[in-house]
């Protein structure tokens, strides 16, 4: 049985004890942009905030793409979140290749180069990646200036978060 088929069976049981009040309109308080890496999945544990408060946007890396910026605009203007947390991590799979390498590898292994060059948003340094994310988000005209935007790196060895100062912050220090 595939994992998806197993999940469908489990869902029948989940629905038996599901609390229908959870289906009401959500009111998240903070937008969290983080990597699709499963080690970042326990956000209520990592951040000590309830599931209901978190508006989670996940991409590989994470990459702050145009789509992610659109989601942050909706999150802060429509859903009502008032802070933005950019959550990177150590040991990310997206630091293990470059876009050019993966494009070449997949073109060769599949025999079809037509999707190349595909953007995978690979990167090398999580701190630099975080600083670029802060800049992208804070410079967007539709992200209100009074919404705090802070970036962190989750250490997968220790479980600790460390804050990354934005370039503007560093210059002021
Ligand atoms: Zn990652």
More reliable by pLDDT, 56 or 170: 56
Average of per-residue pLDDT across 98-110: 98
Average of per-residue pLDDT across 32-41: 98
Residues 36-62 as b/e (b if ≥16 CB within 10 A, e otherwise) read ebeebeebeebbebeeebbbbbbbebb
Q: How far is the CA of 62 from the centre of ligand 1 (A)?
A: 6
Q: Name the percent of the chain in helix, strand, coil, to the closest 5.
A: 45, 15, 40
Q: How far is the CA of 109 from the centre of ligand 1 (A)?
A: 24
Q: Please check the confidence at residue 83 and state whether its pLDDT lies above 80.
A: yes
Give the pLDDT confidence score for residue 147 in this predicted structure: 98
CA pair distance 170, 164, nearest whole angstrom: 10
Instruction: Take residue 52 and report the two structure tokens written for it.
Output: 């209901």
Average of per-residue pLDDT across 148-159: 98
Average of per-residue pLDDT across 105-125: 97
Q: How far is the CA of 63 from the centre of ligand 1 (A)?
A: 9
CA pair distance 173, 165, nearest whole angstrom: 10
Q: How far is the CA of 117 from the centre of ligand 1 (A)?
A: 21
Which pTM does this prediction carry?
A: 0.92
Are the C-beta atoms of 32 and 47 separated by less than 8 Å?
yes
Average of per-residue pLDDT across 40-54: 97
Confidence of residue 168 (pLDDT cuts 50, 70, 90): low
Average pLDDT, the chain: 95
- What does the DSSP 8-state code read for residue 153? E
Give me the residues paired with residue 163 across strands: 152
Q: What three-state secondary structure class fits 130? A: helix
Q: What three-state secondary structure class fits 111? A: coil
Confidence of residue 47 (pLDDT cuts 50, 70, 90): very high
Name the phi and psi angles at 130, rounded to 5.
Answer: -65, -45
Q: How far is the CA of 15 from the centre of ligand 1 (A)?
A: 31
């Amino acid at each position: 049985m595939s994992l998806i088929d197993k999940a469908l069976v489990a869902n029948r049981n989940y629905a038996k004890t599901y609390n229908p009040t959870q289906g009401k309109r959500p009111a998240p308080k903070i937008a969290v942009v983080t990597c699709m890496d499963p080690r970042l999945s326990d956000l209520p544990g990592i951040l000590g905030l309830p599931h209901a408060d978190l508006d989670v946007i996940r991409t590989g890396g994470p990459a702050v793409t145009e789509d992610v910026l659109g989601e942050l605009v909706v999150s802060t203007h429509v859903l009502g979140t008032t802070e933005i947390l950019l959550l990177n991590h150590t040991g990310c799979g997206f630091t293990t290749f470059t876009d050019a390498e993966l494009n070449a590898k997949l073109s060769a292994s599949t025999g079809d180069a037509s999707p190349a060059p595909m953007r995978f948003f690979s990167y090398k340094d999580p701190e630099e990646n975080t600083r670029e994310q802060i800049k992208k988000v804070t410079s967007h005209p539709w992200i209100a200036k009074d919404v705090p935007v802070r970036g962190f790196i989750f250490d997968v060895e220790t479980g600790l978060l460390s804050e990354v100062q934005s370039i503007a912050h560093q210059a002021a220090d």
